[in-house]
Amino acid sequence: MTVFVSLFRAINVGTNKVGMPELKEMHRRLGFSNPRHYLQTGNIVFESNEKDADKVAGQLKKEFEKEFGFATEVMVRTAVEMQSIHARNPWPDDKTKEAKWLVVMFLTAEPTKEAQQALTTAYTGPEEIVFSGKEIYMYYVNNIGNSKLTNTYIEKKLKVLGTGRNWNTVNKLLEMMGEEQG
């Protein structure tokens, strides 16, 4: 069995309300086992005999639209990928950085070098931005809520969709994924 996490984009904000029990049940109907959620923002940890995260994401995206009546993106990562994401934190020993202001943005695809440059050239705010494959690590120096470095801004520059989770959430999801591995 492969342990996965599904990270749904833009649910339970505004009018896109989705109950976590219904989202877990959708995972069960697709044949995924032991779905469990963390917070109300579309984080579901589950297991599957399928090993291909992109295939799983496609199944979830299609079923989600059918079930809830609107489309959204879903980024799916394996436990191994999440461990790698955790290990690639560019600021692992920096005690000056608060976990709640460190955000990992999970992307649908790796942005091109040109797109990465377009973002870092156009954006002149104080946030620190580090690209790593299909993830971006961002440290929000002056609070996320006050920043102009929003998901919409990032997606427009990168031409790739994504969803962000703060470092505390990344740690909790990784912990939940590890509970099934050993």
Q: How confident is the model at residue 181 (pLDDT cuts 50, 70, 90)?
A: very low
Selected residue with higher pLDDT from 44 and 145: 44
Sheet holding 43-48, edge to edge: 33-38, 43-48, 2-8, 74-78
Residue whose C-alpha is closest to residue 20's, from 43, 46, 54: 43
Query: pLDDT for 83-131, tens place per residue?
Result: 999 999 999 989 889 888 999 999 999 999 999 999 999 999 999 999 9
Q: How confident is the model at residue 182 (pLDDT cuts 50, 70, 90)?
A: very low
For residue 89 the two structure tokens come to 């934190």
CATH 3.30.70.1280 domain locations along the chain: 2-83
For residue 24 the two structure tokens come to 């877990």
Which residues 6+ apart lie within 8 Å of 147 measured at CB?
Answer: 125, 127, 140
Separation of CA 33 from chain center: 20
pTM, 2 dp? 0.93
What pLDDT is recorded for position 14?
A: 63
For residue 2 the two structure tokens come to 């492969």
The fold of the 2-83 domain, in CATH, is: Alpha-Beta Plaits (3.30.70)
For the chain, how big is the Rg over CA atoms in Å? 16
The fold of the 88-170 domain, in CATH, is: Alpha-Beta Plaits (3.30.70)
